[in-house]
Structure 1
Amino acid sequence: MLTKEELPPCPVATTLMLIGNKWKIFIIQQLMDKPFRFSELRRAIPGISEKVLTDNLRALEKDGLVTRTVFPEIPPHTEYALSELGETMRPIIDSMATWGTGYQNIVRAQ
């Protein structure tokens, strides 16, 4: 999570700090449906590299939006899911999807 000192004065800036790149949004959007294993998540997000997915999952976990569960099996099995805090992002992502659909409809109608 961010520290008190890292919090910007603007709440919108805080949100953008946490989810302000396209990959984090795509990761959160996928995890809204169900938990994913790393390889499943990578396949579900076209164009994302292993390194970028790893870096963004680590950042989302550090910020408390994603949980990482390691199952002690052979081979090890790791799942990523939205945390309780991450679930509170659902209305934001849903609103973005609704707005994006409306925009797409306007553009297609021209």
Structure 2
Amino acid sequence: MHGVIQKKIFAELPPRSEYSMTSTGETLLPLIEQMEKWGDNFRPQMKEILNIK
């Protein structure tokens, strides 16, 4: 998955897969955290724009 996410497939029944971030993917965490902060700050305006209570 472009080196960001790793998929591990287990050979068992029922079939099972697990996903995890690679070390490259973890470098995106600061960006994701900043996007979360932006979303938290923008939420009141978005609720007003969409007329959500």
* The structure with more helix, counted as a fraction of residues: 1
Structure 2: state its 5+ residue gaps: 49-53
After TM superposition, give the deviation of residue 74 of structure 1 in Å: 1.1
For 1:54, the equivalent position in structure 2 comes to none
Q: Point out 4+ residue stretches in structure 1 off by more than 2 angstroms.
A: none
How many residues are matched? Answer: 47
Specify the alignment match of 1:79 in structure 2.
Answer: 18
1 CA distance for matches of 2:26 and 2:10?
A: 22
Taking the TM superposition and a 5 Å limit, the aligned residue runs for 1:92-103 are: 92-103=31-42
2:4 is matched with 65
Bigger strand fraction: 2
The CA deviation at 1:92 is 0.5
- TM-score, normalising length from structure 2? 0.74
RMSD: 1.5
CA distances 1:45-99 after superposition (whole Å, capped 9, x unpaired)? xxxxxxxxxxxxxxxx1x1000000112112211111111111111101000101
1:46-65 pair list within 5 angstroms:
61=1, 63-65=2-4
Q: TM-score, normalised by structure 1?
A: 0.39
Report which of the two structures shows the higher radius of gyration computed on alpha carbons: 2
- Secondary structure at 1:64 match in 2: coil
Identity %: 32
